[in-house]
Amino acid sequence: MRGLLFWGSVVFLALLLLFAVFGPQIRHGPFEIVGSPYIKPSADAWLGTDEQGRDIFSRLAYGARVSLLIGLSVVTVGILVALIVGTGAGYGAPWLNTVLMRFTDGMFAFPDILLAILIVGIVGPSFWAVFGALAVIAWPSMARLLRNQVLSLKEQEFVTASRALGAGHWHVVFKHILPHLVGLISAVAMVEVAMIILAESSLSFLGIGVQPPTPSWGSMINTARTVMRSDILPLLWPCLILSLTILALNFVGDGLRDRFDPKSAAGG
Amino acid sequence: MRFVVPFLAFVLVLSGCGKGGFSKGAAGRQDHFFAYPMPNYPTELDPATVEDGDTIDLLEQIYEGLVQWTESSELMPNLAEEWEISEDRLTYTFHIKRGVKFHSGREMTAHDVKFSWDRAANPGLASPTVDGYMADLVGFREVREKVATEMSGVRVLDDYTLEVRLKEPKVYWPLYLRYPCYYVVDRDVVPADREIRRVEEVGATGPFMLTELEPKYATLTRFEDYHLGPAKLAEIRRPFVEDAQTRFAMYESGEMDWLQLERQDLRAVEADPELKKDLLRVPRPAIWYLGFDLVEYPPFAKKKVRQAFAMAVDKEAIINELFQGANELAGGIIPPGVPGYRPDFKGLPYDPPRARQLLAEAGYPGGKGMPPLELYYRVDRDDPRLVSERVQLNLKENLGVEVGLRPLEWDYLLDLRNKGKLPFFHLRWHADYLDPQNFLSFMLHTNARENMLDYSNPEFDRLCDEADREFDQARRIELYHQAEEIAVLEDAIWVPIYFQYDLELLRSEVTGLRRSGLGPLPHWTTDVTWAKN
Amino acid sequence: MVLLKRVLRSPVGAQVLRRLAWTVPTLVFITLITFIAGDLAPGDPAVRKAGMHGGQEAVELIREKMGLNRPLHVRYAEFVWNAAHFEFGESLVTPRAVNEIVLTGIQHTGRIALLAILLASGVGILLGGIAAIWRNRVADRLAVSFSTLGICIPNFVLAPVLVYIFAIWLDRLPVAWRDDPERGPWIYLILPVAIMALRPAAVITRLTRASMIDTLSQDFIRTAYAKGVPFWRTIIVHALRNSLVPIMTAVGTSLGFLLTGSFIIETAFLIPGLGSASIDAIRKADYPVIQATVLIFAVLFIAVNLLVDLLLPLIDPRIKEGAA
């Protein structure tokens, strides 16, 4: 069952990626007005049209592009920062460790989305504000995790042995520490991407995320809410695709963790 | 699949019982109680400073002026029983009605009228409206410049006679008396040199008293000594509900008796026979338009840029598709209900190729080289958002111009507008009185207080000045038409989008709700009965 | 002093004091961020406060009155001092004091958060327990899928969908919050609380299940069972009590989720709580309100975490420093 979910999710994510890349061009553009508002699904507009008479299929695909772009790029930036800080703190000087721990403590004192909201509130909503705000909230938890991992790796025999044989710090870090982090990072990355996509859509839902006319699943849900009395489909599509994406990312994350860290598999 | 099972089971348990009828569940209501929502908290409590339609609508139940509208939108006496106009049309003598009581019980006299007008003109109140509405009074400028504390042109002859002198004969001046800054306040109750801010500071003569102002609602209570006899309604409740969905739900549940329907709810209403019989379509003398500020956004100083924008917006589609024909396409500026309205005037045509060409001629081919631009509109209504998003799409597709959207809370937006800080905006102008002057000279004349756009065209000004003084109505309208054509066709300083028709839901049990061309009149005859079957 | 020394000598006491001491720099960090954020914000508060009718004189007067001419560190100190006294000045937009907005906000947000955490703990412990007892059976599968769904489905997806089902289709619950003296607040709280509780309930289910499985496999449970202690007594008295620590931790961290969840839920259901107040303030660029709400959220968050950290050793004295 677990295998099925994992591979099913992998396939879903692959399809989503294709959808994001090619979807907006297949039939209509995401900004193109193709007819009246709220047309039911038809041969022309496969999932119907939205309040402006734009093709929902194309907008969902563009929304996928936005979500994946923000999710992947924020997590990439977050992992890079977390790697530098985390290995620095775990492997390097104790004072660095203290500074990092206290700083991340402070960051943890802010609930994630609150900090993002504060940043966007001050800077004003835009793609880059959202990107920056999410990058700021993404790295501390990963940095902590990596630091803990590095700390435990540092005490492992193969590391101490390598040190005893006279290997330099850089050598140890690149040859022994980082390669052992790959599995953990890939598992964590999946879950982090899910979290960032969720945060991005939350901001868009609140009207302070990616701004119109650029579609985002969150803002599509928000505007479709106002017409659900007469037209429910424009609300259901983005709800469905967003929920499935988050589920799939979590399943893949779980699966990867099981593969790289068999100990945690039993926990459930 | 197994994820879905518990959820479906849960839903089935509840749905097994069928419709719940929560929304229809409100208990029987008291007679003579009338509730209708306001989309936002009142911006002011002071007639001297108020300027937005929603708040004026609230205050008109409380405060009154010397005159009132009839249902056919003509002036009729109110606090003034009658008035005489001198030969040279410069002096008005008002005879004040005897026995009119303030809410405090004190009798109102001509002294109170003079006090109220002098107070409104007082620079200490910094009213944003009096420079537009009171500038014709002799002595107004002196008060504004702090040379005098009262207007020499407004004199009390005796307790029941007031003489008013104007600087120039202005045809439309008596219409101004219906604007809130001319309303009469109780000098024993209101603060003399600052705005009215609290419920206790409200003193007036209207059919209702403001008895409660809470963060989420206001309550108006019948004034028993009202000079036209006490209202039939005992109480009016005005909840402040920003969200259109909630307003609609409150109407459905019976908590609201009257509602301005948002366009997107029309489909739901038409599908529901119960609601459909309450549906009304009411014209408003109001125009929704796009405005350009020539200083805040320098490219707009070029006429061709404005024309290009105007010709790139597909108004037909906005009316027919977004609004399903519920509003009327605006070619010019003067709306239906106002003398001078022309149904056949179509304004600039929708012509994307020509628009692109104009923009290129202005030095921005394909929108290249234009600084970032944002379109401002109010956040609490859905129609402005729909239109603004459509305008954004049109400009992107037809001109290649990227425009950001800035939905703002109403009070904040109004504040920015009054400071002339909106580079590009989608707003409404609603008639204060039914005269074309209110839409042309009042809004776009170089010296007009409401001209926040830094627009100035000597020819436009000349036509307006001449029309404002012209007593031959046909000739006067002709002059305004020429001015309108300059503003819309040549200068494209506004892009008229649509004339507003309100979609309303009003309980079919309600009778006696009076309206003039300017919207609801004070509800003192409203007869709300709840004959529940 | 003697007392202090005694407290410091006891390991738990020292730990508590250290934990308390660490909140100070955290608070400084947070006040600093909110203060700087408010100061960096575009627009001059004095100009805004002067409003639509204010001229240059009024602006200068207000600037003087608000003390905006003074150096940054003085104003920061004052900001902290005032915040400590729950004094946040006036809103830039409405003529209301920020306190007033924030106080009504806290009542709404607090009520929903508390109800939700109660619901979530009840549901979570129950489901988690059931799942652990009947491990790998249908009940367990259902509980695990519930928790997976609960963690993954965003609350702003759930909110409109449930509103559609229960308020529009079935017409049994209200669409959004409002003051309703006739029906009272409870019926308006059902959907928001249920949606708020979902994610914490899912997390608590997960943790309860894991820790109960762990405890149930321990020797002392088997011993108790072998000694003839009835099955349910074993479960409730022994297993559950021993699982209390991870469950408490989950409840604590969930409160954090609940605070942030309030942004979405309060916006979706139009509840005038802290979350919707700060979103409103952001849209109005009302910086004093933004500062106040953010600060209060952060302080609540810290306080909850502190409380959990302090309570844990009381429940389970085995916890040594650092183990948490």
Query: In three state form, how does the secondary structure of B101-146 look?
Result: ECCCCCECCHHHHHHHHHHHHCHHHCCCCHHHHCCCECCHHHHHCC
Q: What is the mean pLDDT of chain A?
A: 84
Q: Which amino acid is at C111?
A: R
Which residues of chain C have a CB within 8 Å of the CB of A234?
A: none
**Nearest-angstrom CA–CA distance, A141 and A241:** 27
Q: Produce one character per residue of A29-46: b if its CB has 16 or more CB atoms within 10 Å, e if not.
A: ebbbbbbebbbeeeeebe
8-state DSSP, B166: B
**Nearest-angstrom CA–CA distance, A192 and A200:** 12
Q: Work out how many domains chain C is built from and give that number.
A: 2
Q: How confident is the model at residue A1 (pLDDT cuts 50, 70, 90)?
A: low
pLDDT at site C119: 92
Instruction: Say if residue B13's pLDDT is above 60.
Output: no
Which residues of chain A have a CB within 8 Å of the CB of B407?
A: 207
More confident residue, C279 or B181: B181
C56 burial (CB, 10 Å; 0-12 / 13-18 / 19+) is exposed
**Nearest-angstrom CA–CA distance, A202 and B250:** 27
- Whether residue C6 is contained in a domain is answered as no
Question: What confidence tens digit (pLDDT) does each residue in B23-67 have?
Answer: 665 544 556 788 899 988 888 899 998 888 889 989 999 999 999
How many other CB atoms are found less than 10 A from the CB of residue B431? 24
Same domain membership, residue C212 and residue C152:
yes
Mean pLDDT of A108-117: 73
Q: How confident is the model at residue C134 (pLDDT cuts 50, 70, 90)?
A: confident
Sign of the four-CA dihedral C310, C316, C321, C322: negative
CA distance A79 to chain B (A): 32
Question: What confidence tens digit (pLDDT) does each residue in B405-438 have?
Answer: 988 877 778 878 888 889 999 999 988 888 999 9
- A244 Cβ under 8 Å from any chain C Cβ: no
Mean pLDDT of B214-242: 88
Tell me the residue length of chain C.
324
Same domain membership, residue C278 and residue C174:
yes
Which residues of chain B have a CB within 8 Å of the CB of C170?
A: 14-15, 17-20
Question: Mutating which of B12, B14, B265 best tests the C interface, going by the most C Cβ atoms within 10 A?
Answer: B14
Q: How confident is the model at residue C55 (pLDDT cuts 50, 70, 90)?
A: low
Instruction: Say if residue A106's pLDDT is above 50.
Output: yes
Contact C26 A106 (CB under 8 A): yes
- Whether residue C316 is contained in a domain is answered as yes
Contact C53 B128 (CB under 8 A): yes
**Nearest-angstrom CA–CA distance, B32 and B237:** 11
Same domain membership, residue C156 and residue C59:
no
- Whether residue C91 is contained in a domain is answered as no
Residues 6 or more apart whose Cβ sits within 8 Å of residue C181: none
**Nearest-angstrom CA–CA distance, C192 and C264:** 10
pLDDT at site C133: 85
Q: Produce one character per residue of C141-155: b if its CB has 16 or more CB atoms within 10 Å, e if not.
A: bbbbbbbbbbbbbbb
E-assigned strand segments in chain A: none
Which residues of chain C have a CB within 8 Å of the CB of A246?
A: 152-154
Same domain membership, residue C204 and residue C121:
yes
- 3-class state of residue B498 by DSSP: strand
CA distance C207 to chain A (A): 9
Q: How confident is the model at residue B510 (pLDDT cuts 50, 70, 90)?
A: confident
Instruction: Say if residue B511's pLDDT is above 50.
Output: yes
Q: How many contiguous H segments (helices) and E segments (strands) does chain B have?
A: 17, 21
Mean pLDDT of A251-267: 70
- B322 Cβ under 8 Å from any chain A Cβ: yes
Determine how β-strand B258-261 pairs with β-strand B494-506.
antiparallel
Query: Which of A110, A222, A243 minimises the CB distance to C153?
Result: A243
Contacts 24+ apart (CB under 8 A), A232-238: A232/C164, A233/A40, A233/A41, A233/A47, A233/A48, A233/A56, A234/A38, A234/A48, A234/A50, A234/A51, A234/A56, A235/C160, A235/C161, A235/C164, A236/C161, A237/A47, A237/A56, A237/A60, A238/A60, A238/A63
Which residues of chain B have a CB within 8 Å of the CB of C148?
A: 3
CA-based end-to-end distance of chain C:
29
Q: Tell me which of C29, C57, C85 is where a domain ends.
A: C85
Same domain membership, residue C201 and residue C57:
no
Among all residues of chain A, which has the CA nearest to that of C291? A118
Residues 6 or more apart whose Cβ sits within 8 Å of residue B76: B67, B68, B69, B70
- Whether residue C40 is contained in a domain is answered as no
**Nearest-angstrom CA–CA distance, B218 and B238:** 5
Which residues of chain C have a CB within 8 Å of the CB of A243?
A: 152-154, 157
**Nearest-angstrom CA–CA distance, C315 and C308:** 10
Task: Give strand pairing partners of B499.
Answer: B287, B328
Determine how β-strand B527-528 pairs with β-strand B510-511.
antiparallel
CATH code of the domain containing C178: 1.10.3720.10
Which residues of chain B have a CB within 8 Å of the CB of A227?
A: 264, 267
Mean pLDDT of B115-127: 91
More confident residue, B75 or B5: B75
Question: Which tokens go with A174?
Answer: 């690149």
- C59 Cβ under 8 Å from any chain B Cβ: no
Task: Give strand pairing partners of B209.
Answer: B221
Among all residues of chain B, which has the CA nearest to that of A127? B404
Q: How confident is the model at residue C88 (pLDDT cuts 50, 70, 90)?
A: confident
Question: What confidence tens digit (pLDDT) does each residue in C278-318 have?
Answer: 888 877 777 788 888 888 888 887 887 788 777 776 766 55
pLDDT at site C53: 47
Instruction: Say if residue B314's pLDDT is above 70.
Output: yes
SS3 per-residue string spanning chain C: CHHHHHHHHCHHHHHHHHHHHHHHHHHHHHHHHHHHHHHHCCCCHHHHHHCCCCCHHHHHHHHHHHCCCCCHHHHHHHHHHHHHCCCCCECCCCCCEHHHHHHHHHHHHHHHHHHHHHHHHHHHHHHHHHHHHCCCCHHHHHHHHHHHHHHHCCHHHHHHHHHHHHHHHCCCCCCCCCCCCCCCCHHHHHHHHHHHHHHHHHHHHHHHHHHHHHHHCCHHHHHHHHCCCCHHHHHHHHHHHHCHHHHHHHHHHHHHHHHHHHHHHHHHHCCCCHHHHHHHHHHHCCHHHHHHHHHHHHHHHHHHHHHHHHHHHHHCCCCCCCCC
pLDDT at site B330: 94
Mean pLDDT of B199-221: 90
pLDDT at site A182: 83
Q: What is the mean pLDDT of chain B?
A: 88
Q: Tell me which of C58, C85, C112 is where a domain ends.
A: C85
Tell me the residue length of chain A.
268
CA distance C2 to chain A (A): 31
Same domain membership, residue C184 and residue C75:
no
Which residues of chain B have a CB within 8 Å of the CB of C284?
A: 408-409, 411-412
More confident residue, B460 or C44: B460
Contact B23 C171 (CB under 8 A): yes
pLDDT at site B319: 93
Are the C-beta atoms of residues C283 and B407 closer than 8 Å to each other?
A: yes
**Nearest-angstrom CA–CA distance, C188 and C186:** 5
Contacts 24+ apart (CB under 8 A), A34-42: A36/B321, A37/B321, A37/B322, A38/A227, A38/A230, A38/A231, A38/A234, A38/B267, A40/A233, A41/A233
Which residues of chain B have a CB within 8 Å of the CB of A234?
A: none
* Residue found under tokens 């002392």: C220
Are the C-beta atoms of residues C112 and C265 closer than 8 Å to each other?
A: yes
Are the C-beta atoms of residues C321 and C15 closer than 8 Å to each other?
A: yes
pLDDT at site B533: 38
pLDDT at site A266: 40
Q: What angle do CA A108, A110, A112 make, to 5 degrees?
A: 85
Domain limits for position C61? 45-85
Q: Please name the residues between 105 and 164 in chain A that touch chain C, using a CB distance below 8 Å.
A: 105-106, 109-114, 117-122, 124
- Whether residue C1 is contained in a domain is answered as no
More confident residue, B361 or A1: B361
pLDDT at site B163: 96
- Whether residue C15 is contained in a domain is answered as no
Query: Which of B11, B41, B195 minimises the CB distance to C165?
Result: B11
Same domain membership, residue C245 and residue C117:
yes
- A229 Cβ under 8 Å from any chain C Cβ: yes
Domains (range + CATH), chain A:
65-258 (1.10.3720.10)
CB–CB contacts below 8 A, A to C: 121
- Whether residue C90 is contained in a domain is answered as no
Question: What confidence tens digit (pLDDT) does each residue in A128-166 have?
Answer: 889 999 988 888 888 888 888 888 887 777 777 877 787
Instruction: Say if residue A261's pLDDT is above 70.
Output: no
Kindly state the percentage of chain C with pLDDT values over 70. Answer: 81
- Whether residue C4 is contained in a domain is answered as no
Question: Mutating which of C48, C94, C172 best tests the B interface, going by the most B Cβ atoms within 10 A?
Answer: C172
Same domain membership, residue C313 and residue C164:
yes
More confident residue, B497 or A43: B497
- Using CB atoms, list chains with 3+ pairs below 8 Å to chain A: B, C
Instruction: Say if residue B313's pLDDT is above 70.
Output: yes
CA distance C212 to chain B (A): 23
Mean pLDDT of A173-201: 86
Least confident of B134-143, B345-354, B460-469, C135-144: C135-144
Instruction: Say if residue C323's pLDDT is above 50.
Output: no
Q: What angle do CA B445, B450, B453 make, to 5 degrees?
A: 75
Same domain membership, residue C103 and residue C78:
no
Q: Please confirm whether the linkage preceding A213 is cis (ω < 30° from 0).
A: yes
Question: Which tokens go with A12?
Answer: 């879903």
Mean pLDDT of A67-77: 94
Q: What is the mean pLDDT of chain C?
A: 78
How many other CB atoms are found less than 10 A from the CB of residue B61? 25
pLDDT at site A139: 84
Same domain membership, residue C110 and residue C69:
no
Instruction: Say if residue A69's pLDDT is above 50.
Output: yes
- B520 Cβ under 8 Å from any chain A Cβ: no
Kindly state the percentage of chain B with pLDDT values over 90. Answer: 54
ipTM of the complex: 0.83
Judged by phi (left if over 0) then psi (alpha if -120 to 50, else beta), residue C228 lies in left
Least confident of A53-67, B312-326, C68-82: C68-82
pLDDT at site C278: 83
Are the C-beta atoms of residues A26 and A46 closer than 8 Å to each other?
A: no
Question: Which tokens go with B275?
Answer: 């609601």
Same domain membership, residue C74 and residue C217:
no
Same domain membership, residue C113 and residue C72:
no
Kindly state the percentage of chain C with pLDDT values over 90. Answer: 5
- C172 Cβ under 8 Å from any chain B Cβ: yes
- C272 Cβ under 8 Å from any chain B Cβ: yes
Question: What confidence tens digit (pLDDT) does each residue in C137-189 have?
Answer: 888 888 888 888 888 888 889 988 998 888 888 888 887 777 766 777 888 89
Mean pLDDT of A65-78: 93
More confident residue, B77 or B511: B77
Q: Please name the residues between 82 and 141 in chain C that touch chain B, using a CB distance below 8 Å.
A: 93-96, 100, 104, 141
Query: Which of B271, B382, B392 minimises the CB distance to A212?
Result: B392
pLDDT at site A212: 81
